[in-house]
Every structure is written in structure tokens, then in C-alpha cells.
A and B are shown apart, each in its own frame.
Chain A
């Protein structure tokens, strides 16, 4: 660690490239904290958006017209508006209306924190896309497969869970892959409501050290690695779900 710090100090002195995160412990801890928050945001929002997508796709073919319309409105609203606007809307708009508890020192304590708002907002945004992605997968399933499931005595819900969704998932994985990669990158927008994720911390660091270029490089590499890991997992999942002879 001392060697690395020394090297980056030397780099700064000789070239002017100031990678403070690699030799200033304070900046390093801020960067690590940001990375941890980003990873948390990614994992939670990916899981939630998948759940929202699956539920939404199920409700899209629900017998109740109300449920179908509700999903439609949800998709239109969250897919067609910018995610940054949604984050601001939740944090500054909804957050202001919600009741808040009273802190010990007489301060207003919001019931939902900025991190929680970011998770809610990003999950809904990515979830809206996932609904449509799952729909594309469901519609690609041969009608005969669904009929076969029904003939076997599956209820609508059971057929969805055990037959339709697994088959649909296989078909829509590449599209889902794209959307989740997008979601990982969109988590950076949470910086706008002061969620201490990677971009937020890096911005603080370059605000103080004026090393924008260097910190930009760190950012690019960080997200390159994060997305790389996600893609690796998703490709592994695709291989796992491969059905020999199906879809070829």
C-alpha cells in the first residue's frame, strides 16, 4: 500500500497527474465508501426492478382491466420521463408531502432517506422497461406451450411462474442484459440528491483537488469494471438457462 501511495505521489510530482484517491487516505476512504454505495444501489435496484418487471408482465395479461390499465400507465409514466427528473420528483416532490417524524432535537426527520428514494426511483424506472422486456419474452413463447401447461392443470399463476416466465426469461435475457447495464450506469444520477455513491464522492474529490481529468479516468474504469462484472454474471445466467435445441 505504501508503495502504491508513493508511486502515485511520484506520478503527481513528475507529471502533475494527481490521483489523490491512491495516496490520500481520506480521499481513498471516500472513494471506497462511494463504491460500496454504488454496489448496494446496483444490487438492490436490479433485484427490485426484476420483481417489478415480472409482476408487471403478469398483470399485463390479468383478467382485470383495471390492473392492465394500471400497468400500462405505470410503464408510460416511468419509461417516458427522464430518470433524473423522476429522482428529483420523488426526493423533492413526494418527499416534501410525506409525513415526517420529529427528531429528538426538534428537527423534522423524513421517513424516507435520499438513498431509499434513489432505490425506489431507479427500481421503478428500470422496472418499467423490464415489464416491456418480459412482455416481449412472453409473447415469443409458442401459444402451444401455454396451452400444454393449461392442459396439464396449471392455474394461470402457476403456469406463469413455472412455464411462461422461465421460457420468456431465456428469450428476453439479451434485452434484459442491456437494461440492467443501463441501470448500473443510471445509478450515478443519485448523486443529484446527495446519495454518496461513486460519482458523488469523486465529484467532491475533484472539487477540492481540481483533478477532474484524473478522477474522470478513475470513474470510467470503475464503471467499466462494474458493468463488466454484471455482463459476466448475465452471460453465465444465459448459459445456465440454455435449452439445447430450443430457439435455434
Chain B
């Protein structure tokens, strides 16, 4: 036990105390992922995640330094100690949890999926090539879906009109947030003839991460995440940057903000 404690202390040299001593919290964020982390016209990195990082620095009473990362180097940056915290639209996978310490609960989550008629023979995203999908105009992943899967998108304002268009057979399916589709499928109106047979694509749960062994920072971040959910900060950030609050953000807020029994 004693040995383990010593090892941990050595590896967690840049724990909360180390950061406070240094006076700077270094956070790896995306700089190419609107609206979660992107460049302002002046070149500053802004977005939901930089705002959350700023909140972390404020809680620690230190200055904030943002380091732009990309998917291919972010975990290495964390392992090499170039950054204290990774807060960069990182999807939660078992492989990643092996090499870094994930912060639970995940601070954000959602899939993109397609609501399809049960009569549809589409069983894979690849089957959507050349087919028309109803969509909600302004969804940030429309372009990705169109380009990645070769689907033609027919985008309407809001979610009711694309659903109506789907019912009338004007498109083969409705591509939207998975949590939303799941909600619809709870209704008898939709559960009878419609289903969500495809695997959700694009983002999954998004986790913050710290280097292995950095337990003090991990504990601090877990507390901060719960506070964000309790205060509704994540939902406020979603609104600030013009994205529809996800079911996950709402559910976690309800759960965390509920009075203790």
C-alpha cells in the first residue's frame, strides 16, 4: 500500500497542488470543432469546451492555457504531460479508458441516428447512398452525413415537418439526434411502423481525461462535472453556442439538480 502511494504521488506530480503551485491549468481542446472548440476570427480558441476549461481554471484559482489538439495527438499530449486535462470532444471507448483516466460522468453525449420505417430494407449506413433522408435544417452533422454516406438530405425547419415528410414517404428516413429518435419511438404513433435499426454514428459519450495516476485532478474534475450538470452550465453553453440541448445534458441536469432523498 505504502509503495503504491509513493508511486501515485510521483506520477501525480502535476496534480491539483502542482497546478496551483504553477499557477496555470493547461487544457487540451479542439480548435477545429465548432461549436465545441474553434478559432475566433482573431485566432483565439473559443467554444463550449474552452468555456468549460475556463470554469475549471476559475475553480482552481489559476490562469488558463489552452493547447489545441487533434484526435491523433491528444492522448499523447496527455501522456507526455504537455496538458493537464484533455477536454476535446473525445468519445468514450474502452481502449481509451485503458490509456488515460476517464472522468465520470461523461460531460456530454449524443449519437446521430436515423429513424426508419420497419418496411425499409436499409440495414446499414452504406445502404443510404443515393437515398433521400429527411433532416432538420441547421443540424451541425447534416453535411457530414451527406458527405460520409452519400445520402441526399431534405432538410426542414424544426423536427415535426421532417417527421411528417417521412411519414408521407418523401424520404427514406429521418436523420437526427439519437436521443430524440429514441424519445419518439416510445410513442405508439411511431413505435408501430418505425424503428432505429442503424448504429448511431458521429459522437458518442464525450469524456474528459487526465493522465493515469493523477487522482487528485481526477477527483477535482469529477466534482466539477457534477457541478456543471447541477448548475445547468453545459445546457447554458449549448444554448450560448446555438445547439439544441441534448437529452443527455438535460437528464444529467435533472438527476444532479434533484434534491437528495
Contact = CB atoms under 8 A, between A and B. Distances in A.
- The secondary structure that dominates the A interface is helix
Interface in A108-132: 108-110, 113-114
Contacts of B42: 16
B121 interface: yes
B155 A92 contact: no
A113 B155 CA distance: 14
Interface in A200-229: 200, 203-204, 207-208, 210
Contact of A110 (B35, B142, B169, B172): B169
B142 A204 contact: yes
Interface string B88-117: 000000000000000000000000000001
B117 A194 contact: no
A193 interface: yes
A207 B41 contact: no
Given A12-B41, A200-B155, A106 B168 contact: no
Contact of A114 (B117, B157, B170): B170
B120 A107 contact: yes
B168 A203 contact: no
B137 interface: yes
B122 A208 contact: no
Contacts of A2: none
Chain A CB within 10 A, most for which of B34, B117, B154 = B154
In the complex, which range does the number of interface residues on chain A fall in? 20 to 34
Contacts of B170: 91, 95, 110, 113-114, 194
Nearest to B164: A92
A107 B168 contact: no
A210 B34 contact: yes
Contacts of B169: 100, 107-110
A111 to B, nearest CB: 10
Nearest to A14: B41
A16 B119 CA distance: 48
Interface in B116-166: 117, 119-122, 134, 137-140, 142-143, 147, 154-157, 161, 164-165
B139 A207 contact: yes
Contacts of B140: 207-208
Interface of B: 34-35, 40-42, 117, 119-122, 134, 137-140, 142-143, 147, 154-157, 161, 164-165, 167-170, 172, 242
Top 8 closest A-B pairs, CB basis?
A108-B169, A16-B41, A207-B138, A194-B154, A105-B121, A106-B119, A96-B168, A194-B156
29 contacts: A16-B40, A16-B41, A18-B41, A26-B143, A91-B170, A92-B164, A95-B168, A95-B170, A96-B167, A105-B120, A105-B122, A106-B119, A107-B117, A108-B169, A109-B169, A110-B168, A110-B169, A113-B170, A114-B170, A192-B156, A192-B157, A192-B161, A194-B155, A203-B138, A207-B138, A207-B140, A207-B142, A208-B142, A210-B34
